[in-house]
A and B are shown apart, each in its own frame.
Chain A
Amino acid sequence: MAVESKLLSGNEAVAQGAWEAGCLIGAGYPGTPSTEALEAFAKYDDVYAEWAPNEKVAFEVASGASMGGVRAMVTMKHVGVNVAADPLYSMSYIGVNGGLVLFAADDPGIFSSQNEQDSRFHALGARVPLLEPADPAEAKFYVKQAFAISERFDTPVIVRSTVRLSHTKAVVECEDRADQPRKEYEKNPVKWVMMPANAKVRRKFVDARVAELAEFNNASVFVRADYRDTNIGVICAGVTYNHVREALPEASVLKLGMTYPIPDQAILDFASRVDKVYVVEEASNYLSMQVKALGVELSEFVEPIPPDDELSPGIVRRAFGIETPEFDRFDGALPPRPPALCAGCPHRLVYSELRRMNAVVNGDIGCYTLGALAPLSSVDSVVDMGASLSMAHGMELARQFSDKSIAIDGRPIVGVIGDSTFAHSGITSLLGTVYNQGSGTLCILDNRTTAMTGMQGNPVNGITLQNRPSRELDLVKLCEALGVEDVQRVDSQNLADVRAALKRAVASDGLSVIVFCSPCRLLVRTRKEPPTISDCKRCGACLKIGCPALGTDDEGHAKIDETQCIGCGQCAQVCPFGCISSEGRE
C-alpha cells in the first residue's frame, strides 16, 4: 500500500480518512471550524459532495445515502448539530445500511461562534457512539474506525473535533482507498419506518447496542492507559490529552478515544491503580459527569480549571500546583482590533441607514453580524441562524401590547438576514410571518455568497461545491410566492436607493421585504481610484460608516488611506457637504 506523508489540518485529515474508508457521499453546511472537512473531501476523485441549505437537510441526505447502501459523511459546526438533532435522534433508532458518520466541530474559546456548547452531549442524548481524536493523524484513523463501527453496530457515529484539532496541521501518513461495494437496500419497515410500534422495538435495540458498544470500547484501540507515577492519574480525551501530556509528563494518563458510551471497566480499572484520579476537560463537565456516575471519586485541583474557555498546558500545570513561567507585558492601554466589515462591503450602507433611522434591528449570523460593532452599532440581537426574521415578528407582536413607556414604541422593527442564512432557515421564518399576517420590515442582504465562512456557494447564488451546474434562486419571486405583497430589490451600494426603500418599507403597515443586492468585495475585487476630500467640515459623518480606509488627520479632517481604499464611493455618498468627490473614479 502506497503511503505518503502530507501536512494536513485536522479537517483535511478527516476528509482523507473518509476517502480512505471508501466514503462516497459527503454533505454538510459550512461553519467554522468544520468547513474545510467537506471542502477537502469534495476535491477527491470519485466522490460526490454537496453543500446543503442547512445541517438538518445535510444529515438527511447522508442518511438517505446510507439507506441506499453507500458510506456517507455529514459535516457541521457544533451549533449545526442542534439543527440536525431531529434526524440524528431518530437515525439512532434506525441505524444504517452504509456507514454513516457525523463530523461535528466544536469551538471552545468561542473564536467564531455564538456559544461554547459541547456537542458531545448530543451523543449522550441520541445514544450514538462518539469518537474524539487528539491530533490530525488520529483524526484520519478514527474516521476510518467510525465507518467500521457504524456498520458493525448499526448506528450513526459522531466524530467530534475542536478548533485546535480542526485547524492544527501536522504530518499525516496517507494511504490508499479501500473501496466499499454498495450494499443492497432491502425493504424493512420495522427498521426504517419510525412510527410508534416500530420505534418501540428499535428503542430496545438502542439500549442493547449501547451496552454492546461499551463492552467493545473497554477492550478497543480507543482506550490507552499509560502508567507512570501512580500518585496522579488523569483521565482525558481529544486535544486535551496533548495539553495534559505536555504539562504532566510524569503522570499516569488514561486517554479515551470513545467517550460515549464510556469504557466503564477500563475507567474503574485505571482508578483502582492510581492514588488520585482527575478528569481534565475543556469548557465542560461532560466527561467528569460520566466518570463520577461510575462511582469514581475525583480529586480536587490545586487551582480549579476554569469552566469556560479553551485549555492550554499552562492551565493544566496550574491546576496541579506547578509553577508557570514569568512573563513581560506592555502596561499601557492597547487599542482593540476587532474584525470589521471590509472597505467597500455591500452591507455597510444598509446598517448606516438603519442606525440613522434609530431602528430596532433583529440581526442574524454572518459577516453582517459585524454591524453590531462601533461605529455602526446598529444590531440589537443575534441568536441563531434564521432568528432575525422570526424575532422581528415576535417584537412586532409584543409591540401590540405596548404603552408609551416601552422603548420600541415608535421605532421601526427591522429583521436583517444574509442570503445563505435566509436559505438555511429564514424562509420558514418568513413563511410564519406571512401566514400569521405579521408586519414589519425584513431585509435580505444578498452579497452573492456565504462570506463569513469563506465564500461557499449556496442555493441563492447557485454555485455548487463540486461546480456542477445549478440554478440561482430568485429571492424576489420566492418572497412573492410565499405571499409577501411588498417586495423590492435594491442596489445596496446606492445610498439614495437604500434610504428610499427603507423609508417606504417602514412607513407601510404591512409586511415588507427588501432584497439588498451587491456582491461581496472578495468576489469582485476591482478597485477604483480613491476619492479626493476637499474643504472638509470635520462633521464626522463619513467616519460613522466604519470604513477601515477612512480616518482623520491631526486636525480632525477626514483622510483616506489610499492603500486600503477600494474607491467604492460609500463615503462620498454620506458626506452631507459634498466634500468627498468620486469623480473620475470609473
Chain B
Amino acid sequence: MADKINGATTVLLCGVGGQGTILAADILAKVAARAGLQIRLSEIHGMSQRGGSVITIVRFGQTVLSPVTDFGCADRIVAFEATEALRYLPYLAKDGKLLVNSEEIVPLPVLIGAVEMPENTLEFLEQRGAKLIDSTKIAEEVGNPKATNIVLMGALSTELDFPVEIWEEVISKRVPPKTIESNLAAFAAGAKAVSQE
C-alpha cells in the first residue's frame, strides 16, 4: 500500500453532495487514528453541498505531510456514485483499488437535456478492475437505507489492514445510538459483498 511519494496511504472518497462522504471519511480517519497512525483528512465544503460533485481525501501512515493528493497517487478510491468514479479515476495509483457504488445519479445538466450520461459506465469500471457494490440495495436489505456510506466503509475495510473491532467501535460512537445495530449490519454486509466475489 505504499504511496508513490512517501509511506502514507491515500484514500479518496468521491460522490455527490448529501451522500454521506464526510461522515464516512470521518469514520475512516478515526479508525486510522485509533490504530496509532498519523492522519490528515481534507474535505471541500461550500458550493459542493448543493448536490455538486464532492471529494474528501483521507491519508494515514507513520508520517503524513500534505493533506492533498495527485493524479496516480490514491491507493484506494471509494466512489459513492458511479459517474463520479469516472471523474476521479485519474487519481488512482497504478496498483490502487477502486470500489464503486453501482448507483448512477443523474446531474441537472443531464436532466434538462443539455448533455448526456456516459454509456456503459459500469462495464468500463469493471474492466479497470473496479469492485462494484450495490450499496443502496444492501443498505435497504439491512433495514437502514441511509447507511449506504457505511456499506461502502465495510467494503473498504477488506482493502485495509485495520481490525474489524476498531471499525465497529468507531462506527458505534459516531452514528445515532438507535441506528448502531443497523449500521454495524450494513458494515458487515458491505464487507461480505466484496469478499464473496
Contact = CB atoms under 8 A, between A and B. Distances in A.
Nearest to A112: B46
B108 A546 contact: yes
Given A7-B29, A546-B112, A325 B73 contact: yes
Nearest to B69: A312
Contacts, number: 189
A220 interface: no
Given A167-B45, A548-B51, 19 more contacts: A7-B26, A169-B29, A242-B67, A247-B5, A247-B66, A312-B70, A314-B71, A328-B89, A328-B92, A330-B87, A332-B118, A336-B115, A339-B51, A340-B50, A454-B45, A543-B112, A546-B108, A548-B111, A552-B113
A310 B68 CA distance: 10
B112 A32 contact: no
B52 A339 contact: yes
A341 interface: yes
Given A246-B6, A374-B112, A339 B17 contact: yes
Chain A contact residues: helix, strand, loop or mixed: loop
Contacts of B92: 327-328
Interface in A536-582: 540, 543-544, 546, 548, 550-552, 561
B160 interface: no
28 contacts: A7-B30, A111-B48, A112-B47, A164-B68, A171-B39, A239-B66, A239-B67, A243-B65, A243-B66, A246-B6, A313-B70, A314-B70, A314-B73, A325-B73, A326-B72, A327-B92, A328-B128, A329-B89, A330-B86, A330-B87, A333-B115, A335-B109, A335-B116, A338-B108, A339-B49, A339-B52, A454-B45, A543-B112
B118 to A, nearest CB: 5
A336 B109 contact: yes
Nearest to B6: A246
A194 interface: no
B42 interface: yes
Interface in A275-326: 310, 312-315, 317, 324-326
B117 interface: yes
B80 to A, nearest CB: 12
A517 interface: no
Contacts of B108: 338, 340, 373-375, 546, 548
A367 interface: yes
Nearest to A247: B5
Contacts of B23: none
Interface string A367-378: 100100111000
A329 B90 contact: yes
B112 A336 contact: no
Contacts of B16: 337
Contacts of B117: 335
Interface of A: 7, 32-33, 111-112, 135, 163-164, 167-171, 239, 242-243, 245-247, 249, 310, 312-315, 317, 324-330, 332-342, 367, 370, 373-375, 452, 454, 540, 543-544, 546, 548, 550-552, 561
A33 B112 contact: no
Contacts of A310: 68
Contacts of A342: 50-51
Contacts of A33: 45-46
B107 A337 contact: yes
Interface in B70-118: 70-73, 83-84, 86-87, 89-94, 106-118
- Listed from nearest, the 8 A-B pairs whose CB atoms lie closest are A112-B46, A314-B70, A325-B72, A339-B52, A339-B50, A327-B72, A551-B111, A32-B46
Contacts of A375: 108, 112, 114
A334 B118 contact: yes
